Amino acid sequence: MIPLLHDFADETVLVVGGGPVGARKARRFAREARTVVVSPAFADRDFGDAELVRAAPTPETVGDWVARLAPALVVAATDDAAVNDAAETAAREAGALVNRADEAGGRDADSVVVPATVRDGSVVAAVATGGAAPALSKELRRRIEREIEGAGAMADLVAEIRAEQKAAGMAATARRDRVRAVVDAPEVWKALQDGVSNARQEANRVMEAIDD
Ligand SMILES: C[C@@]1(CC(=O)O)C2=NC(=C\c3[nH]c(c(CCC(=O)O)c3CC(=O)O)Cc3[nH]c(c(CC(=O)O)c3CCC(=O)O)/C=C3\N/C(=C\2)[C@@H](CCC(=O)O)[C@]3(C)CC(=O)O)/[C@H]1CCC(=O)O
Ligand SMILES: NC(=O)c1ccc[n+]([C@@H]2O[C@H](COP(=O)([O-])OP(=O)(O)OC[C@H]3O[C@@H](n4cnc5c(N)ncnc54)[C@H](O)[C@@H]3O)[C@@H](O)[C@H]2O)c1
């Protein structure tokens, strides 16, 4: 499987099943998409900004929810394999993506796996194990969380530098050398992590050193 990034803004995600797994996926997708969770029970779990609809679709009726909501993605997260099967089939027929919480990774076209994800600003890192060991994905995500601190601020800084250099008409190879030196420089990372406003000055020093 090859990881890709998918923009769910202005899309709908349908989560069928409101247990701990449905809640986790709903919280995740509701940050970006209109997310609807259909389930007979929700306990007092946190579903983020998702809309909760109390219903228990059967294998015969789950397709009606897919038709009504026209989701870009259907998450099958009930503990009833027949309902999950029917949700998967309906999603496929409607041309939507499908995520099965009860299978060790999708093999069919349109199947997607939800990786463990770390974010810092516009930077995102995702870990998956081909469905082999989700607990390992979680552990590695925790380790990467510590590594990635400050990466969002670094991305913002580099974006600013790239825009200026492009506007100034600097050649692509010269821009590449400067940007690589900046992201590699411990003093720039340190300035960003300390929240000090002189990160740009540190970056300028690093870039000037290339010309020497
Ligand atoms: C990464 C993460 C994202 C998320 O879900 O948000 C995620 N699972 C997480 C945690 C986790 N899941 C499970 C445990 C208990 C330990 C264990 O069983 O290993 C733990 C750990 C815990 O809970 O501590 C059990 C489990 N998971 C799946 C099955 C079914 C099966 O294997 O057949 C079963 C057995 C159910 C049973 O036996 O009844 C299936 C999938 N789980 C996936 C993703 C996809 C593959 C990702 C990959 O390739 O690694 C995939 C294929 C489908 C999908 O869900 O997309 C999230 C960590 C979030 C984070 O904290 O960062
Ligand atoms: N992907 C993962 O990380 C992961 C982790 C643990 C378990 N699982 C698998 O995912 C499934 C869901 O996990 P869980 O821990 O949330 O299970 P759970 O049994 O706690 O929750 C299932 C939810 O589905 C709802 N439900 C039952 N019938 C329904 C129907 N007809 N329509 C809509 N909702 C219905 C229930 O009310 C409940 O809220 C499990 O069957 C398990 O195989 C996946």
CA–centroid distance, 116 to ligand 1, in Å, is 9
| The pLDDT value given to residue 190 | 93
Ligand with smallest separation from the Cα of 20: 2
- Widest distance between CA atoms in the chain: 72
- Of 3.90.180.10, 3.40.50.1000, 3.30.1360.120, 3.40.50.720, the CATH number of 12-114 is 3.40.50.720
Torsion of the alpha carbons at 102, 24, 7 and 95, rounded to the nearest 10: 30
| The pLDDT value given to residue 149 | 87
| The pLDDT value given to residue 116 | 96
* Closest residue by CA, ligand 2 atom 19: 79
| The pLDDT value given to residue 110 | 82
* Closest residue by CA, ligand 2 atom 32: 56
Residues with CB under 6 A from ligand 1: 24-25, 99, 101-105, 113-116, 128-131, 133-135, 137-138, 141
- Main-chain phi, psi angles of 111, to 5 degrees: -80, 135
Domain ranges of the chain: 12-114, 116-147, 151-211
Tokens of 153: 């601020």
CA–centroid distance, 201 to ligand 2, in Å, is 52
Pocket test for ligand 2, best of 60, 66, 78 (most atoms within 8 A of CB): 78
| The pLDDT value given to residue 46 | 98
| The pLDDT value given to residue 212 | 67
**C-alpha separations of 174 from 142, 166, 168, 169 in Å:** 36, 11, 12, 10
Q: Over its length of 212 residues, how does the chain's per-residue pLDDT go in tens digits?
A: 889 999 999 999 999 999 999 999 999 999 999 999 999 999 999 999 999 999 999 999 999 999 999 999 999 999 999 999 999 999 999 999 999 999 876 667 788 999 999 999 999 999 999 889 999 999 999 999 999 988 999 999 999 999 999 999 999 999 999 999 999 999 999 999 887 678 999 999 999 998 76
| The pLDDT value given to residue 106 | 60
CA–centroid distance, 183 to ligand 2, in Å, is 43
Q: Are strands 116-120 and 123-127 parallel, antiparallel or unpaired?
A: antiparallel
| The pLDDT value given to residue 112 | 92
Ligand with smallest separation from the Cα of 22: 2
Structure ipTM:
0.94
| The pLDDT value given to residue 60 | 98
DSSP category for residue 194: T
| The pLDDT value given to residue 1 | 82
Q: Which atom of ligand 2 is nearest to the CA of 20?
A: 16
* Closest residue by CA, ligand 1 atom 9: 134
Q: Which atom of ligand 2 is nearest to the CA of 80?
A: 28
CA–centroid distance, 113 to ligand 1, in Å, is 9
Q: Which atom of ligand 2 is nearest to the CA of 43?
A: 39
